[in-house]
Structure 1
Amino acid sequence: MGAQGMLPFELYAIRYARHQGRAAQDNYMGSVDFHDADSDLDYYVWVARRGDETYVVDTGFDEAAARARGRELLLPVPEGLALLGIDAAAVRDVILTHLHYDHAGTLDRFPRATFHIQEAESAYATGRCMCHPALRHPFNVEDIVQFVRKLYGGQVRFHRGTTELSPGLSLHLVGGHTAGLQVLRVWTRRGWVVLASDATHLYGNIERGIPFPIVHNVGDMLDGHRLVYSLADSPRHVIPGHDPLVMRRYPAASPATEGKVARLDVPPSGQDARVIE
C-alpha cells in the first residue's frame, strides 16, 4: 500500500523495434553543438498491471510498416506482451498516447479492447492539419481508418484533459508533439512514475529543453516538459518515449526478457542510470 492507501502498479517497457544510424540533428530541434547527443531510437509499448487490471499503452507497428519506414522490427507487439503472460486478444484496455504510426498500429490485434484517447488527438488526426504533408507524414492512413472502425464499433473512449482511469493511474493532456498527445502518471512501489511517451523522445530532449523536431506546437511541447516533471516524483521517475537508455538503466523483467522487456517500477540502477536532478 502507498499514497492514499493505493496498491502500486507494476510497470513495464517492451522494446519492439529500433532505428539506428540517426544523426543528433534528427532528434533535436535547431543547431546541436554537443557531441554526446543520443542518435538512435528505440520503439516501445508499455504495460501497467495491478491484480486483475491490465492497461496496455500504445500498440506499435507491424512488419509492413517497419519496411515502409526503414525501421527494424525486433519483436511483434503481441509476442512482447506474451512475454508478460498477456494475450493481446484478451486485453480490455488500451491507452493510445497519440495516433502516430509507431504508437497506434496493429489495433486489429486487440479485438476486445476499449481504446482510451484524448478527443483532441482524434480531431487532429482527422482534421484540417492533415492537409499539410509535414504534419500527416508520421501518421499511417490505414491505422487511422482502423481507429475510425474501432470508434464506429463502440470501442473508443474519449477523454478531455486529465482523467483518472483507476486509483493510481491517470491520463494528462500535453499536446505539443501532436495536438492531443497524452502522458500517464502511474503509482508504483517507487512512487509516481510518468510514462512521457513522445512528450520527450529522449532523456536529452527534456533535460536540455530542446524539442524533438517532429512537433505540432513548440510552446506546448516545452510546457509539456514542465508538466511531466511536475507529475513525476523526480526526474528519475520520467520515462521517455524512444530512448535506448531505458533498456540499460532498468532491469529486465526476467532473465528470459533481457533486452526485450524492462521493469520500470523499480529504481534505475543499470548502465547510465544517472539523470539530471
Structure 2
Amino acid sequence: MSVLPNYEVYAIRYATRASKRSDNFIGGDPHDGPMPLDYYVWAAIGPDRSYVIDTGFTAEIAAKRKRDYLRCPIEALKLIGIDPGQATDVILTHLHYDHVGNFDKLPAAHFHLQESELHYAVGRYMRYKRLQHSYEVEDVVGMVRANYAGRVNFYEGPAELSPGVTIHPAPGHSAGLQFVRVHTRRGWVVLASDVTHFYENMEAHKPYVTAFHIGLMLEGFDKLRSAAPSPQHIIPGHDPLVMTRYKAPRPELEGIVVRLDDPPKE
C-alpha cells in the first residue's frame, strides 16, 4: 500500500465585499445584519507537484462589480513560494468571474475543469441575465481559446489528479462546480469552493442565493461531509471566519494568507 504525500495547503485572501445576511441565503434571513464575504484563491504545495486552485478576478473587474480589491491573487502566490510563470497545474472549481479571472497570468498552466461547466457557460442558460451575471464573457472565451491550445484537461466526474489530490463534482451553484480534496498531515482537507460559501450554508442547510439547482446544492453539502474526516476539515469558499480560524504561515502574512494543513485554532 503506497503512502500518500502530504501537501501544504494555503488560502490567500485577495478581495472582500460588504454584504448582509439576507444577501447570502435563499429566502433572506429574519435576523438581518452584516455578513461580509471574502474572496480567496488556494494552493496545494506537495513534495513533487503543486496546484493552484482558482485564479480570482482582476482589479478592473473589482471596480466594475464594486468589490474591495486588496491584492492581485496571482502575484500573491509568490508569498507562499509559487512562481506564477512556472505554475503548471490550475484547478478551476468553476468559471464564475471570481474563480477564473487572471488565467492569462499563468502562461505555463494547464487547467483542470469539469466539462459540464464549460458546456453550461457557453450553453442555452446563458441567455438569462440572472445566470449569466456570475460570468465574465471574456473569461469564458479565454477558456475556449485555452482549450483550442490544448491547455484544458476536462473531466466527467470525480478524478485523482495525482496521489493526494482529487476533484469531485458537486453542481448546484453552477452546473459544473467541483470541490478539491487534498491529503495533508492532518488528513484530507476539503476545499469546498462555492459548494458552500459560508460555514453556515452547509451547517444550517441554507442554500446560497446564486443557484442553478437548489436540490443539487443541498446534496453538495452532503458530498462535502462524506469527503471529509470531520466538519473541521471542510473549508468554505467565501467565509471570513477562515482567516480567524486558521493561522498565518508567518506573522507578516496575518490577514492575507492562512495555512489549512494545520488544525484550526482552539
Same-fold status (TM-score > 0.5): yes
Indicate whether 1:180 and 2:176 are aligned: yes
Is the partner of 2:229 in helix, strand or coil? coil
For 1:110-121, what aligned pairs fall within 5 Å after superposition?
Answer: 110-121=106-117
Indicate whether 1:26 and 2:23 are aligned: yes
TM-superposed CA distance for 1:6, in Å, is 1.1
Equivalents in 2 of 1:143, 1:10: separation in Å? Answer: 29
Equivalents in 1 of 2:199, 2:205: separation in Å? Answer: 10
- Give the unaligned 5+ runs of structure 2: none
TM-superposed CA distance for 1:34, in Å, is 3.9
Q: Give 4+ residue runs of structure 1 displaced > 3 Å after superposition.
A: none
TM-superposed CA distance for 1:108, in Å, is 0.6
Q: Is the 8 A contact 1:38 1:204 kept in 2?
A: no
Equivalents in 2 of 1:154, 1:18: separation in Å? Answer: 34
Equivalents in 2 of 1:238, 1:38: separation in Å? Answer: 23
For 1:202-213, what aligned pairs fall within 5 Å after superposition?
Answer: 202-213=198-209
Paired position in structure 1 for 2:9: 11
Amino acid at match of 2:73: V
**Percent of aligned positions that are identical:** 50
Is the partner of 1:83 in helix, strand or coil? helix
Amino acid at match of 2:25: Y
- Deviations 1:127-162, CA, capped at 9 Å, x for gaps: 001011000001001111111111111100001110
Equivalents in 1 of 2:66, 2:216: separation in Å? Answer: 29
Paired position in structure 2 for 1:200: 196
Q: Is the 8 A contact 1:89 1:109 kept in 2?
A: yes
Indicate whether 1:233 and 2:229 are aligned: yes
Equivalents in 1 of 2:89, 2:28: separation in Å? Answer: 41
Q: Is the 8 A contact 2:9 2:44 kept in 1?
A: yes
Paired position in structure 2 for 1:158: 154
Equivalents in 1 of 2:97, 2:201: separation in Å? Answer: 21
RMSD over aligned CA atoms reads: 1.3
- Give the unaligned 5+ runs of structure 1: none
Q: Is the 8 A contact 1:9 1:50 kept in 2?
A: yes
- Deviations 1:186-233, CA, capped at 9 Å, x for gaps: 111111111000000000100110000100000000000000011001
Equivalents in 1 of 2:93, 2:71: separation in Å? Answer: 20
For 1:58-97, what aligned pairs fall within 5 Å after superposition?
Answer: 58-97=54-93
Paired position in structure 2 for 1:49: 45
Q: Is the 8 A contact 2:25 2:208 kept in 1?
A: yes
TM-superposed CA distance for 1:4, in Å, is 5.1
Indicate whether 1:264 and 2:264 are aligned: no
TM-superposed CA distance for 1:33, in Å, is 2.3
Alignment partner of 2:125 out of 117, 129, 152: 129
Q: Give the structure-1-normalised TM-score.
A: 0.94
Q: How many residues are treated as equivalent by the alignment?
A: 266
TM-superposed CA distance for 1:15, in Å, is 0.4
Between 108-117 and 22-31, report the one with greater CA deviation.
22-31
Q: Give the structure-2-normalised TM-score.
A: 0.97
Alignment partner of 2:164 out of 161, 164, 168: 168
Between 73-82 and 92-101, report the one with greater CA deviation.
73-82
Amino acid at match of 1:88: P
Is the partner of 1:18 in helix, strand or coil? strand
Q: Is the 8 A contact 2:53 2:91 kept in 1?
A: yes
Q: Is the 8 A contact 2:21 2:28 kept in 1?
A: no
TM-superposed CA distance for 1:78, in Å, is 2.0
Equivalents in 2 of 1:264, 1:24: separation in Å? Answer: 26
Equivalents in 2 of 1:38, 1:248: separation in Å? Answer: 17
Equivalents in 1 of 2:234, 2:203: separation in Å? Answer: 11
Paired position in structure 1 for 2:214: 218
Q: Is the 8 A contact 1:165 1:171 kept in 2?
A: yes
